Amino acid sequence: MRIDILTLFPGMFPGYLNESILKRAQEAGLVEFHLHNIRDYATGKHRVTDEPPFGGGGGMILKPGPIFRAVEAIKPADEACPVILLTPQGRPFTQTVAQELAQQERLILICGRYEGVDERVRQHLVTDEISIGDYVLTGGELAALVVVDAVTRLLPGALGAAGAAETDSYATGLLEGPHYTKPADFRGWQVPDVVRSGHAANLARWRREGALRRTWERRPDLLETAVLSEADKRFLQSLAEE
Ligand SMILES: C[S@@+](CC[C@H](N)C(=O)[O-])C[C@H]1O[C@@H](n2cnc3c(N)ncnc32)[C@H](O)[C@@H]1O
């Protein structure tokens, strides 16, 4: 997969992209990141990328020209790949959206700044708009990194432990249950016997029930769409009766 990121601040990215799993995914040839400075596509002596809004109102708006030229320079006209604007007005970013984007060969992410981008970018250039949450950041760079991170870890082979992403919260439709590691006794708090028993079937059921319990306690809305077995339903019923 290739991910192109258009930003006024490319220097914000290398620290995050070149560590840990994202670094290893690049080294393994699973993903390429290409940073593009929107200012490089601005014209004139001062390479202006933003202007005050027509009609006043305060703040600055990213001009359409540099953003259109940047996308047109990096994407052949006949290549149909998602061109995504990060914006608090976009569709909410979820694990399902991350899975959808992870199927693509290429993504182009546009980071807004200031008061946002000229409306014609939305109307005539981008194919998708994504929000990472109901709050307003100063720029789209952190939002782009959130998308890049969540998508990259879903690429086959990106995570060390095979299948780890498949049991993550949301991937199964549930929150993930508790985890334990050594020591078995920490300040008198014990790891449950079933976790240490090595009994695969009992452990699998314990994990499933842990996920169901956690979801029931914290995100009961997810249970409305999760795929549940008869045993799951009985367990949830027992929780409700507790
Ligand atoms: C200060 S915000 C502009 C907000 C805009 N005036 C509005 O009310 O919708 C500047 C840029 O940050 C990015 N941004 C801010 N919050 C975001 C969010 N929740 N999700 C994705 N991008 C966000 C967008 O790229 C946006 O253009």
Question: Quick one: tokens of 53?
Answer: 């809004």
Q: Which two three-digit tokens encode residue 72?
A: 């047109």
**Cα 36 to ligand 1 centroid, rounded to whole Å:** 19
pLDDT at residue number 172: 85
Q: Are 177 and 213 spatial neighbours (Cβ–Cβ below 8 Å)?
A: yes
Token code pair at residue 142: 């952190």
Cα separation of 231 and 213, whole Å?
13
Q: Which amino acid is at 167?
A: T
Domains of the chain: 2-152 (3.40.1280.10), 169-241 (1.10.1270.20)
**Please, what sign has the CA dihedral across residues 57, 60, 66, 72?**
negative
- Would you give the DSSP letter of residue 117? B
Please report the atom of ligand 1 found closest to the CA of residue 85. Answer: 25
User: 197 by DSSP, 3-state: which?
Assistant: helix
pLDDT score of 163: 59
Cut 0.85: pTM above it: yes
Q: For the chain of 242 residues, list the mean pLDDT of each consecutive stretch of 10.
A: 98 98 97 98 97 95 98 96 98 97 98 98 98 98 98 94 75 93 97 95 97 98 96 98 94
Residue among 77, 78, 88 nearest 122 (CA): 88
Q: Is 89 in the pocket of ligand 1 (CB under 6 A)?
A: yes
Indicate if ligand 1 lies below 6 Å from the C-beta of 49: no
Find out whether the peptide bond into 10 is cis, omega within 30 degrees of 0.
Answer: no
> Helix, strand, coil: what percent of the chain each, to 5?
40, 20, 40
Ligand 1: residue whose CA is nearest its atom 20:
131
The answer to whether the CB of 154 falls within 8 A of the CB of 98 is: yes
What are the residue ranges of helices labelled H in the chain?
14-17, 20-27, 64-74, 95-102, 119-124, 141-152, 193-197, 200-218, 230-241
